[in-house]
Every structure is written in structure tokens, then in C-alpha cells.
Chain A
Amino acid sequence: MLVYIIRRLLQTIPVLLGVTILVFSMMHLIPGDPAQIIAGESASETQVEQMRERLGLNEPLVVQYGKFLGGVIQGDLGNSIRSGNPVSAEIGARIMVTIELAVYSTILSIFLGLIAGIVSATKRYTFWDTSIMIVALFGLSMPNFWLGLMLIQYFALPPLQWFPVSGWGTPGHIVLPVITLGTAGAAIIARMTRSSMLEVINQDYIRTARAKGVKEKYVIYKHALRNALIPVVTVVGLQFGVLLGGTVLTETVFAINGMGRLVIDAINARDFPIVQGSVLVIALLFVLVNLIVDLSYRFLNKRIELD
């Protein structure tokens, strides 16, 4: 197990390096002169030159990357072009909102997804199964920003006005964005749980348990679900990442001041250090979450093997 953890950690290093290289290259892949584009079309030649100096674009690429990587390791992601504040501070002020949104949505999607998946699998080919799977297909096929708009339309605007239209802070603010973001995840987890449960239910040891006269409820929850959950764990990890990315759209719809809005505003303002910093932080977070999921998956698997 320890060997596996160490190997898995070592495997993460090249990926992390790759992520930093890719994010670093973003500035250099801009078609044309990045300094000119970031400074704006109307900028004078000296202004462009200043911008180039400020972004460090005059130095050799390797030196630039070295400085970038050194900065990242120390938590220094450069300064915002628009506000002049450190990128890390701007991200720090927003990241908790986004993580909260993603965590709540993940919890909702696990909760709804598991229940729906278990009901569907245990009542296979019944009205319930069919309905749940149709709803899940719709959940999977809906653009989350549209779902958000519709939720606002019917639950935040008159006549109902149950929830605030936009913002973040009170429990009321959380409901609609979390439903918006969590629905697709719930659909994916429900489908995964269903197929995983069905696969397990057909296994010999389940038949044996039933033949022994174990109660059906006990068979489902003690024997089947425990093993069926293993592949679901991986999906949950991936889903958390997708939700982190998906917050960009949800935050735009609900005017929530998180990382997603930060990225979009920065893209529109050509504030590249902010774009780079935010993309990097979200990617690193995702790699970290996947690492944890991978290790826990391994752990679950080991325990079952030992059983």
C-alpha cells in the first residue's frame, strides 16, 4: 500500500509539471504579440514595451518558465494587470465560494444519484426504473446554465420568489445554484450506480447470499451496494472536477463572485495573469482531488480483497 501511495505521488509530478508548462505557454500561444494585445490596440509603442517588460516577455523562454515555476511553488502567481493586486490574493478572495459551491453540489449529486441509482437497480424494468432513467437522461442533456435560468425564472422571479435571484451568502442563495450545478452530476452518478449495482447483483456471491436466506434488504445494502460503490467513487472524483469547471457557467448565471466569474471577467479584460493563475489553481485542485480519490479507491479495493 505504501509503495503504491509513493508511486502514485511520483506519477503526479510530471502531470503537475505538464500543467504548469501548459498554463505558462498560454501567454505565448496568443496569436500575435501578447504584449500588444494585453496592453490594448490603442496602446503606444512605449506602453507596449512597458507591458512586455512587466510581463517579463523580453527574457529567454526557459528563464521565463523558471521564474514562473519558482513563483508557483512559492505561491506567487504574478500581479493582475487590471488591478495590480497579486493574483494569489484575488484568487484567495474568491476560491472559497467556488469550493463551497462545488462541494455542496457534489454532496447533492451523490445523495440524489445514489438513491435514484439504487431504486432503479432494485426495481429494474419497472415504472420507477424507467422514469428515473428518463429523468437522468434529461439531467445529463441539459445545459446547466439554461437550467439555472429556468430555475430563476420559476422560483426566484414573481410570482413565487422563493429564492434570491443572484448572489451568495445566505442559505437561500445556495439552493438554486447547487441544484443547477449538481443535476448533471446526480444523473451521471445515478446511471453509474444503477449499472454497477446490476453487475454486482448478477454475481454468484449475491445468489449465494440469497440462497442462504439472507434478507433482501440486507443483500442489497450490505453485500451489493458495498461492492457496487467502488466504481462510483471514481466517478464522484471526476464529477467534482467537472463541477469545479462548471462553476464558471453557474456563477455567471447567478452573479456569484467566485473563481468562475473571476476567470470570465479576466478573459474579457485580457487580464492574462489572472486567467493563468485561476486555471492553474483549478487544475491543481482537480489533480489533488483525483489523487485522493484514487488512493481511497485503492483502499476500498484492498479491504474487499482482504475480506
Chain B
Amino acid sequence: MAETTVNKPAAKPPSPTIENLKTIFKKLRKNKAAMVGGYLIIFFVIVAIFGPLFTTGSPSAIDPTNRMAPPSADNWFGTDHQGRDIFTRIIHGMSITLYIGFSSVLIGAIVGVFIGLVSGYYGKKVDAILMRCMDVLLAFPGILLALAIVSVLGGSLQNVIIAVGIFSVPMFARIVRGSVLAVRKLEYVDAVRALGASDTRIIFRHVLPNIMSPIIVQATLRMATAILTASGLSFLGLGAQPPTPEWGAMLSAGRNYMWDSPHIALFPGLAIVIVVLAFNIFGDGLRDALDPKTK
């Protein structure tokens, strides 16, 4: 080992973040369930981007002569109460669902990771105050926090994203804080500090890259929760508004007709289940691959 180092004195060590991602990927490939979840997610992204090109007709094209038609060769998932093709609407809804999930988790992750880093790194009073604030947010259980936020901001797709994003902040903050506490005491952090690195540099260059695993796992699992919560808000009429082909809103519009046409409520729900399932499987797999305890 010493020899190779001597032979290549000029080689720049790879950046810690890239190195981390490489090891993560290597471990992940050994986990079958995670790979299945991952491929499913890639498939959904492809459907979201290119799917609408292959569906005939618009998702909001009304056909009064063909209302509530059961699934057939023409309408794979049947039509809804306005004669709109449910399959087309579900394909168009894919991008909305992924967009809501991704942007709300991104908001939650950025804010939550920042709070967790500051809290864990500085400790003491800063930590106490920030964590009490997170406790306050966590006191509103389940969908209630998102519901309260949407009730204030008003129901719309954008506000649902903000609400679900805020709803995710305390989870990220807590996990990151815990990880920072574990890393902060390690020798290498002391060493970097002794070399005169600033707090900001230590936090972002040396602490953050080493706690990426729990953040990535949390973000993946959070996607599942975010999609479920957002679709719930839309189902309550507080999210995406009709005629947007959002799946929760479709379920809400279709439920009055399900007595006669079960397929109206069946397919949008199945779509939510499958996407959420993919993120849960992928997140579980990631956690198993990245958590040394389960090995």
C-alpha cells in the first residue's frame, strides 16, 4: 500500500462525496429488493417524462357519450364520470405525483438537514432551542401538520408541496442531528479544526459528506410518506384541484360514482400504492445496504 502511494504522489484523492456515492452504489447492487425498487422508480420517471407522448388524447378530454365505461381495449382502465380516459389521466398524473414528492422532500431535506447540522454541531443552547422547535412541529401528528398549513395557505398544488415539505423538516433535522453528534467527536474533525478550518468548512466539507447515508435513506422513505400525505390532502379537496389528473383528486371525484363503476376508484388508488411501494422497497433496501448493524 505504501508503495502505490509513493508511486503516485501527484494523484489527487477523490472527493469524499463521490467516494461515498460509489461505495453506496456498490453495496446497493448486492441488495435485490433495493434494485427492484430502484428500477421501478426509474421506470416511473420514464413514464412521467415520455408517457404522455404515447397516450392518445388529452387527460381532460370529456366524452359525454362514453361515461363510466368499464375497462376495455379502447379504455384500458375505463372512463370516469365525465367520460375521460382513466389510463391517460393516470399516465399524466405520474409526473405530478413524482413532482410533488420530489419537491416537498427536497424542501424538507434542505431545511431539515441545515437545522440538524447547526443543532448537532454547535450543541448547547442553539441545539436546545432548535430541537424544542422541532418537538413543537412533531406534536402535530401525521397529516395534521400539513393539514393545518394548507388550511392557512389555501388549497393548491403548490401549497401542498410547501406543507408536506415543512411536515418533513423535523424528521430530517432529528436524524441529521443524531448523526452529527456521532461524527463530531471523531478525531478527524478535531484534526481538521486544528488545521484551522472554519466551522462552515468543517460542517459542509467534512461532516456532511460522512452522514450522507442516513440522509439518503430518509429522503427515499420520505418520498413515500410525502406522496401518501399529498394525495390525502388532494383527496380532502385541499390539494390539486380538478381537472388536474392528480391521483388523490381523481379518487375524490370518483368516489361518488364507485357504486356503479368500481374501476373509477380502483385504478388511481392502485397507482398510488405501486409508486409508494417502489419508494418504500428502495428505501428499505438502501437502509439495509448502508446500515452496518444489519450486516
A253 to B224, CA, bound (A): 22
CB-CB contacts below 8 Å: A61-116 with B: none
Taking a contact as CB atoms under 8 Å apart, the answer to whether A141 and B148 are in contact is: no
- Tell me whether B232 is interfacial, beta carbon within 8 Å: yes
Tell me whether chain B's interface is mostly helix, strand or loop, or mixed. Answer: helix
Q: How many residues of B contact A (CB 8 A)?
A: 43
Would A146 and B281 be within 8 Å (CB), given that A15-B135, A244-B141 are in contact? no
Residues on the A chain within 8 Å of B133, using CB: 18
Q: Closest Cβ of chain B: how far from A33's Cβ, in Å?
A: 14
Q: Of all chain B residues, which has the CB nearest A148?
A: B255
A149 to B231, CA, bound (A): 14
Taking a contact as CB atoms under 8 Å apart, the answer to whether B236 and A282 are in contact is: no
Taking a contact as CB atoms under 8 Å apart, the answer to whether A15 and B236 are in contact is: no
Contact residue among A21, A145, A242 (Cβ-Cβ distance under 8 Å from B141): A242
A141 to B231, CA, bound (A): 12
Residues 94-134 of B, flagged 1 when their CB comes within 8 A of A and 0 if not, give 00000000000000000000000000000000000000110
Q: Closest Cβ of chain A: how far from B228's Cβ, in Å?
A: 5
A238 to B141, CA, bound (A): 8
Taking a contact as CB atoms under 8 Å apart, the answer to whether B147 and A248 are in contact is: yes
Residues on the B chain within 8 Å of A267, using CB: 147, 150-151, 238
Contact residue among B132, B141, B277, B284 (Cβ-Cβ distance under 8 Å from A282): B141
CB-CB contacts below 8 Å: B265-289 with A: 265-266, 268-269, 272-273, 276-277, 280-281, 284
Taking a contact as CB atoms under 8 Å apart, the answer to whether A282 and B144 are in contact is: yes
Would A26 and B152 be within 8 Å (CB), given that A143-B269, A241-B142 are in contact? yes
Would A245 and B235 be within 8 Å (CB), given that A26-B148, A150-B265 are in contact? no
CB-CB contacts below 8 Å: A137-160 with B: 137-138, 140-146, 149-150, 152-153, 157
- Tell me whether A209 is interfacial, beta carbon within 8 Å: no
- Tell me whether B140 is interfacial, beta carbon within 8 Å: yes
Contact residue among B144, B152, B284 (Cβ-Cβ distance under 8 Å from A248): B144
Chain B residues packing against A (C-beta within 8 Å): 132-133, 135-137, 139-144, 147-148, 150-154, 224, 228, 231-232, 235-238, 248, 251, 255, 258-259, 262, 265-266, 268-269, 272-273, 276-277, 280-281, 284
Chain A residues packing against B (C-beta within 8 Å): 14-15, 18-19, 21-23, 26, 29-31, 137-138, 140-146, 149-150, 152-153, 157, 238, 241-246, 248-249, 252-253, 263-264, 267-268, 275, 279, 282-283, 286-287
